Structure 1
Amino acid sequence: MNVTTETSVENLTLTTTAELSASLERTWSLVSDPRKLERWWGPPEWPATFVKFEFEPAGRAHYFMQGPDGEKIHGWWRFVSITEPRELEIEDGFADESGEPSGDLGVTTARITFEPIEAGTRLTIVSGFESEDQLEEMAKMGMDEGMRLAVGQIQHILDES
């Protein structure tokens, strides 16, 4: 599986794309099932745990990623729209330990799409940023590499199920 990322400062986006050898329905379960989602949302050394997951428009999610030294970074999502099994739009940000938005680095958006292709499904995640400064800060934190590593885990999960 090949995972690509492309940053557009002009459009304030980071686009991550992967072609997966699995059906649209199977790949959709990777975002609709929190136990499957936490197996890939985050790089291998920073796995995610979803403690709240209201998978419906305007629903909320709270998760944390835990590093190898035990450090936890909390995040929140708001589900903007869900079009099963093709598209999911979320707002995403850093949170405090209770899952409430902390305001650190503002809010990002993500449009996650699933497109049937001959080999299976093309997954595309377009992360949007509020400003060039926010995009640069997230890049400094390693978001590009983190997304590549996170999405790079998906085919293995699909192969197991």
Structure 2
Amino acid sequence: MNTTGRDSEVRSATADREIAISRLIDAPRELVFEAFTEVRHLSKWWGPEGFTTTTRSFEFRVGGEWVFVMHGPDGTDYSEWISWIEIVPPERIEMLHGEYRGDPNAFESVLTFTPEGKTTRIEMLTVFATKELRDEAIEKHGAIEGGQQTLGNLAAYVAEVVRDGAAG
């Protein structure tokens, strides 16, 4: 079934509210997916350079939540909340991300994991409720650079897991 026309319409309808980030990761898709789905992995790489993460609660299932605090390099704490909307192992994760449950400024992200030989292409498409919220995320919070750094941290982490043979 060809949905290209519909996809193009949907894409153009949200283009001014989107951030898209992609990275090729030198690890098998199953491991990259696992690094996103198990808290023992997430806490070791999640966030931009210099950030650490403390998980308050984590339940990876549709409707489940991840409640955590990101600790900035300047000592600032950022309360975060994610709810899982769709999970298709090891291909796709859709989530709602805000500062807290019910956050009116929460945004949706879709992560896709595509095998490319022995590597994995991860694509993160984030759609904000308004163009203004997207622009604020970019300008005030460095969302593009932070997203690229986060995927860089993921790449470094899974490379270490592969090297150490600690997958699974």
TM-score past 0.5 threshold: yes
Q: One-letter code of the match for 1:79? A: W
d(CA) in 2 for partners of 1:125 and 1:29? 16
d(CA) in 1 for partners of 2:90 and 2:118? 17
Equivalent pair of 2:16/2:131 in contact (CA under 8 Å): no
Structure 1 unaligned blocks of 5 or more: 1-7
Structure 2 unaligned blocks of 5 or more: 1-11, 162-168
Aligned to 2:73: 68
CA RMSD of aligned residues (A): 1.7
How many residues end up aligned between the 2 structures? 148
Q: One-letter code of the match for 2:55? A: F
TM superposition score normalised by structure 2? 0.81
Residue 153 (str. 1) matches residue 158 (str. 2): no
Q: One-letter code of the match for 1:39? A: K
Equivalent pair of 1:75/1:101 in contact (CA under 8 Å): no
SS at match of 1:38: helix
Which structure carries more helix by proportion?
Answer: 2
SS at match of 1:146: helix
Aligned to 1:134: 133
CA deviation map 1:88-136 (0-9, x unaligned):
00000013xxxx4454xx0100101100112411111101110011111
CA deviation map 1:35-90 (0-9, x unaligned):
21122221121222222111000111101110123221001011001111111000
- Over the matched positions of the two proteins, sequence identity in percent amounts to 24
d(CA) in 1 for partners of 2:53 and 2:98? 14
Which structure carries more strand by proportion?
Answer: 1
Residue 122 (str. 1) matches residue 127 (str. 2): no
d(CA) in 1 for partners of 2:109 and 2:43? 16
Residue 84 (str. 1) matches residue 89 (str. 2): yes
- Equivalent residue runs for 1:1-161 within 5 Å: 10-95=15-100, 100-103=101-104, 106-140=105-139, 141-161=141-161
